[in-house]
Amino acid sequence: MTFRDPRFAIAYTIILLFTGAYVYHPDETMTGALIAAFAGAWGYYLGSSSGTAKNADNVGKALDIANASTPQPAAILQPGEAAVAAPAAPQEN
């Protein structure tokens, strides 16, 4: 998360707007709205974005490790094709 990220600016703009509305008209409804705005921005960055990014990074690493350790097939058959064994090499005496 960087301060140049547009989502960061949008989240804090929303928090500032609700803070301004609370200063203008402080009551229980605005207190709840301010708390909800803050919790939504906080949950989005710590719950959704960061968690998803870490999860995607871990899954990507796991797939890279799995692909590196899996032997590649000698040939890939297309639908309808059958595997045919190669003729045996002549044996030397």
In a domain, 23, yes or no: yes
Domain count, the chain: 1
In a domain, 91, yes or no: no
In a domain, 16, yes or no: yes
Cβ count within 10 A of residue 33:
15
Q: What does the alpha-carbon distance between residue 23 and residue 15 come to, in Å, rounded to a whole number?
A: 12
User: How much of the chain is helix, strand and coil, in % rounded to 5?
Assistant: 65, 0, 35
Q: Torsions phi, psi of 22, nearest 5?
A: -65, -40
In a domain, 90, yes or no: no
Length of the chain: 93
In a domain, 30, yes or no: yes
Q: Supply the range of the domain harboring residue 59.
A: 6-64
Per-residue confidence of the chain (93 residues) as pLDDT tens digits? 556 777 777 777 877 887 888 788 788 887 888 788 888 777 776 666 666 666 677 777 877 787 777 777 677 778 888 877 777 777 776
Tokens of 30: 């605005």
Cβ count within 10 A of residue 52:
10
pTM for this one? 0.39
